[in-house]
Structure 1
Amino acid sequence: MSRLRFGIFMAPFHSPVGQDPTSAYERDLDVIKQLDKLGFDEAWIGEHHSCGHETIPDPMIFIAHAANHTRHIRLGTGVVSLPYHNPLWVADRALFLDHLTRGRFMLGLGPGALPTDATMIGISLEDQRGALEQDVDVLMALLRGETVSARTGRYNLVEARTQYTAYSDFDIAVAAIASPTGPRTAAKNGLGLLSVGATVQDGFDALALHWDVMEQRSAEFGHRASREKWRLVGPMHLAETREQAIEDVRFGLDDWCEYTQNVVAAPHFRAVGASFEERVAWVNETGLGVIGTPDDAVAQVERLSKQSGGFGAYLLMHHEWARPEATAKHYELFARYVKPRLQGTTARLQQSEDYGRTRWQELDKRQADAIQAATDRHAKERAEAG
């Protein structure tokens, strides 16, 4: 496999409710700007319309804004809730953003995470995942340049086609949390997989389930399931010591957990514990994530790699468990100490240092002798010249 990639999955969470949304959006942008400077590969931004905590309603607008403040990082929808939209307009906007970002855009798709979103627009929760599978088929045909006629209870396309062509062969991925819908849809269409619930421990091995479905369904439809296009998402907060990391997350872990426990109706991703200590233990002791040090982060990614059989990217679930300055330090520590170890980018630097150490005594003496000899020659020439 190629170099392991790293990025973030930004819902974004802004807990508790009551924060100024304008400044919250600025914080989100600041995080992505920092990641761009630190060499992270990608950032995925979510779509949510209710419950008050996850506050970006249109990831495509945010991506267009963030693209003008960054240079290298790739920006994806994490995700567009496809059943909420007409597939033709999603295709047009995706191709448009592909051009505006000069190939830095990625398209993430899902059925919609918040039941309150779907309920407000009259989409049955029981039909939501089936709608995703149907809509992705339509969307992919439109992106291929085909003319599509399709009628559902949510839209009617009559010889519809997009007038745009792509700027690049941009990544398209489907989100998967608990059900097999995500891998089923991704495999059928030869797309990547975003395992948002990759680290949740709920009685079954989600990673094995996701990849088994990917391989079986990909073969059925003539595709090859690519681990390079498999992204795993999990939460972390790093500090220089585990004690400091735990102290950092006193700022916001409880608020975030309370949101998952009592506000958003998502039984597949719900915090455990009533006290701060119980919630820290839930993160660290179940394998869900890391509140600790860079060494803990390396161990977590290595464990997931072994458990899954390998994947292409690890995405840090962005949260606001800690204050902005501690969160910035967290990403700096990850970039400085975790990414290089897992990507192997410092191996040659270490070899070069080791070589210098083995030759230091010999070359240090020769260098000193050479400098002294040059100094002596100069002094002799000056003396001979009078």
Structure 2
Amino acid sequence: MDVGMFQTPFMRPDRTPRQVFDWAVAQAVTADQAGFSEYWIGEHATLQWESIPSPELVIAAAAAQTTQIKLGPLAHLLPYHHPATLAVQTAWLAHICGGRYQLGIAAGAYPTDAALRGITDMSVNHKMLFEAIEIIEAVWAGKEYQAEGQFWNHGFPHEDPTHPVRDIRPPGGRIQMAMTGLSPNSPSIGFAGARGYIPVSIYSGNQFVKNHWDVYEAAATANGHPADRAIHRVVRDVVVADTDAEAKKFAIEGGLGAAWEQYLAPTYKRFGVMEGLLADPSHNVEDVDAAYLADHVWITGSPETVTQKLQDWQGETGGFGQLLVYSYDYIDGSKQWDESMRRLAQEVAPKITLPA
């Protein structure tokens, strides 16, 4: 099993933009040195706890300080960009990253991000997403055309000897894309399967991880794409320490616990996501606290305990190729968090296998 990181980021709202940026770049370097295979960065313009509006800046800085880890946004919110501009920018960044760039794309889920761009009816977002993808791939083709879309006019310039057009295509002509899914029967996961993109499941319960793979596999098979579980990424919280007790204490009392207590748990409860995480459906959602999360939702423990939990989880879900762990706010003291990352990548992940 491979391991990657999703730098959403979940940072304290009082952190400055420079603090968030420096932390995100530093975590990319730590992940690279630990042996993580991927590092994804979120994009949100207005959210207090998810405060990176320009993941491409983090990616460019991280590309100069890392050697092997793949980098990408997760995700660029396509309705909020002109797709032709984004096509050129991502292609250029793919060259800068030297083959280590991947492109996560999404429609956008938060009304405040939409309102900032004048979108008051978010039902159009998925239509904009699909049109944007077609435009991006048309620009990457590098052939002259002009077109008027429902949401954007776009084209590729004709060749003018007096002002030659540079080659703006990405390496190899395309970039590996990824899409995230949270809800059951996720349309985004289905679309990813139909296009051969990477599916990324935001963990909201084992039943949804299994459902996402079924949706992806059906769409991929129907459209002639291979459906290998190794391509499936699942995002979940994991903490490794010397002992089970130490790992649980660190998870509850550190940045992970603070983000869940102040932001994630209230958000999940408000939108009905928490029910899928309950170990016992009869458990009252309002009674879920950090101790419950550490025991039943997060994966915490010694290397031996975490290895067993992850191997069991592989069997319970049918298997997936890569675990993505969230990053949290440990700016004020990252030594134990960084060590947890290292042990996960070097002592745990190599022992985890997909079910036969």
Q: State whether TM-score is above 0.5.
A: yes
Please show how residues 280-291 of structure 1 align to structure 2 within 5 Å.
Answer: 280-285=291-296, 288-291=297-300
**Aligned residue in 2 for 1:299:** 308
Aligned pair 1:109/2:105, yes or no? yes
Cα deviation per residue 1:234-268 (whole Å; 9 max; x = unaligned)?
A: 11122111221222231331343321245799726
What SS does the corresponding residue of 2:10 show, helix, strand or coil?
coil
Gaps of 5+ in 1: 345-386
What SS does the corresponding residue of 1:12 show, helix, strand or coil?
strand
How many Å separate the matches in 1 of 2:38 and 2:20?
20
Cα deviation per residue 1:131-162 (whole Å; 9 max; x = unaligned)?
A: 32332233233334454624223x22245799
Q: 2:199 aligns with which of 188, 193, 196?
A: 193
**Aligned residue in 1 for 2:351:** 341
Aligned pair 1:210/2:240, yes or no? no
Cα gap change, 1:136/1:307 in structure 2, threshold over 3 Å: closer, same or farther?
farther
Cα gap change, 1:225/1:53 in structure 2, threshold over 3 Å: closer, same or farther?
same
Q: Is the 8 A contact 1:149 1:160 kept in 2?
A: no
Of stretches 157-166 and 65-74 in structure 1, the one that deviates more from structure 2 is 157-166
How many Å separate the matches in 2 of 1:326 and 1:207?
29
**Aligned residue in 1 for 2:66:** 70
Cα gap change, 1:144/1:295 in structure 2, threshold over 3 Å: closer, same or farther?
farther
**Aligned residue in 1 for 2:138:** 141
Q: What is the CA distance between 1:77 and its match in structure 2?
A: 0.9
What SS does the corresponding residue of 1:316 show, helix, strand or coil?
strand
**Aligned residue in 2 for 1:53:** 49
Gaps of 5+ in 2: 159-165, 279-284
Cα gap change, 1:230/1:145 in structure 2, threshold over 3 Å: closer, same or farther?
farther
Q: What is the CA distance between 1:333 and its match in structure 2?
A: 1.9
Cα gap change, 1:34/1:217 in structure 2, threshold over 3 Å: closer, same or farther?
same
How many Å separate the matches in 1 of 2:26 and 2:351?
26
**Aligned residue in 2 for 1:165:** 169
Q: What is the CA distance between 1:338 and its match in structure 2?
A: 0.6
Q: 2:26 aligns with which of 27, 30, 48?
A: 30
**Aligned residue in 2 for 1:368:** none
How many Å separate the matches in 2 of 1:86 and 1:317?
29
Cα deviation per residue 1:153-194 (whole Å; 9 max; x = unaligned)?
A: 3x2224579941222464211111215221222122221111
Q: 1:237 aligns with which of 239, 251, 256?
A: 239
Cα gap change, 1:189/1:31 in structure 2, threshold over 3 Å: closer, same or farther?
same
What SS does the corresponding residue of 2:314 show, helix, strand or coil?
helix
Q: TM (normalized to structure 2)?
A: 0.83
Q: 1:131 aligns with which of 110, 128, 146?
A: 128
Q: TM (normalized to structure 1)?
A: 0.77
Calculate percent identity across the aligned residue pairs. 24
Q: What is the CA distance between 1:343 and its match in structure 2?
A: 6.7
Please show how residues 304-383 of structure 1 align to structure 2 within 5 Å.
Answer: 304-320=313-329, 323-342=333-352
Q: 1:278 aligns with which of 252, 268, 289?
A: 289
Q: Is the 8 A contact 1:183 1:214 kept in 2?
A: yes
Cα gap change, 1:312/1:140 in structure 2, threshold over 3 Å: closer, same or farther?
farther
How many Å separate the matches in 1 of 2:124 and 2:226?
28
Q: CA RMSD in A?
A: 2.9
